[in-house]
């Protein structure tokens, strides 16, 4: 018997109108259970989703860091223990919040929850908000045509692309132009005495740089966002799209083939190799742990281990080079 309240207890509360936490406290203090079974009734439909700090585009690996921007809106029932400025660490469960809704019908509840998931604004920590919304919008989910293979069968449509489309680029330019205009007391950026005024922005996103003139008519529907001196962040469909306000190049040089990078920040709980060891493709090299998840790192090809920088019990940051596998040359 598991005698604690489950994470899903808000669903029971929403359809019965009772406060199970209050009941727990009353019973623990010696009072009788407030209602008998026959006095309870079920009304309507409730759905709950777990908003997780994880990256669906990165194999659902945990995402950690500071919540520089955190807004879950005001609709529905939101239960969370964090706020803007808090840190999502690798040491605990990755759940950020519970999103709960009630509706007269199943379809009404589904629509409400999808709307809430699509309006989530969290940055720079990544979440599964868009994945939740895509699940809810799926016709088979709405029709309760479900089995345990639902996600695996539809993963390509349930995980949204994290590459910005033209409308998202336009939204970012619009936000930047508006912010710059306000900063300059309404004077458009690029104003010249002998030329028409121009509002626009030069933006850099995932290796691409564009100059885009502001044209709010083509902004992505329901897109929101904010601008700081270095970035423009656009929120749409539960995802965040980050643009640098000027091209800065690619930053640090990328690790070459054979470099084993940490896919997430976490703790090294096992190291199976040493410098100089010969390994085969697919052989486990080490294991990382974060947020109750274990992730095995394997050799990409046959080769020799060099530059081993990880040790059991050590903490590593995302994209840290843990070791290098030098390919066997034939």
Q: Is 206 a catalytic residue?
A: no
The answer to whether 169 and 233 have CB atoms below 8 angstroms apart is no
**Sequence-separated (6 or more) residues with CB below 8 Å from residue 95:** 7, 50, 51, 52, 53
CA proximity to 255, closest of 329, 315, 309, 295 = 309
Helices (H), the chain: 9-16, 20-28, 106-118, 129-137, 139-142, 150-158, 166-183
Q: What are phi and psi of 18, to 5 degrees?
A: -110, 160
Question: What pairs with residue 96 in β-bridges?
Answer: none
Integer Cα distance of 175 and 108 in angstroms: 33
**Sequence-separated (6 or more) residues with CB below 8 Å from residue 162:** 57, 239, 241
Question: What pairs with residue 209 in β-bridges?
Answer: 204
Taking every pair of Cα atoms in the chain, the longest distance, rounded to a whole number of angstroms, is 83
3-class DSSP state of 266: strand
Choosing from 4, 26, 77, 216, the catalytic residue is 4
Integer Cα distance of 52 and 98 in angstroms: 9
**Sequence-separated (6 or more) residues with CB below 8 Å from residue 27:** 33
Catalytic residues: 4
């Amino acid at each position: 018997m598991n005698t604690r309240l489950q994470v899903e207890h808000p669903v029971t509360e929403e359809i019965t109108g009772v406060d199970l936490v209050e009941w727990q406290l009353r019973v623990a203090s010696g009072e009788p259970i407030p209602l008998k079974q026959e006095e309870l009734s079920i009304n309507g439909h409730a759905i709950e989703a777990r908003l997780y700090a994880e990256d669906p585009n990165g194999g659902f690996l945990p995402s950690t860091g500071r919540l520089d921007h955190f807004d879950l809106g005001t609709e529905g029932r939101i239960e969370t223990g964090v706020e803007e400025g808090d840190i999502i660490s690798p040491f605990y469960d990755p759940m950020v919040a519970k999103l709960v809704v009630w509706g007269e019908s199943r379809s009404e509840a589904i629509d409400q929850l999808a709307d809430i998931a699509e309006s989530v604004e969290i940055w720079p920590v990544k979440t599964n908000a868009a994945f939740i919304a895509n699940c809810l919008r799926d016709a088979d989910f709405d029709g309760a045509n479900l089995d345990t293979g639902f996600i695996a069968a539809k993963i390509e449509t349930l995980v949204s692309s994290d590459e910005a489309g033209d409308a998202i680029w336009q939204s970012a330019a619009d936000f930047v132009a508006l912010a710059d205009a306000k900063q300059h007391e309404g004077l458009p950026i690029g104003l010249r005495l002998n030329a028409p005024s121009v509002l626009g922005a030069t933006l850099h996103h995932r290796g691409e740089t564009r100059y885009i003139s502001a044209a709010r008519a083509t902004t992505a529907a329901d897109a929101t966002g904010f601008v700081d001196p270095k970035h423009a962040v656009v929120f749409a469909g539960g995802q965040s799209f980050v643009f640098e306000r000027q091209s800065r190049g690619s930053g640090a040089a990328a690790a070459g083939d054979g470099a084993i990078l940490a896919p997430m920040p976490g703790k090294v709980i096992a190291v199976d190799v040493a410098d100089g060891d010969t390994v085969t493709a697919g052989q486990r090299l080490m294991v990382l742990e974060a947020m109750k998840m274990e992730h095995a790192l394997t050799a990409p090809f046959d080769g020799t281990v060099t530059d081993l920088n990880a040790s059991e019990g050590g903490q590593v940051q995302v994209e840290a080079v843990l070791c290098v596998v030098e390919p066997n040359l034939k």
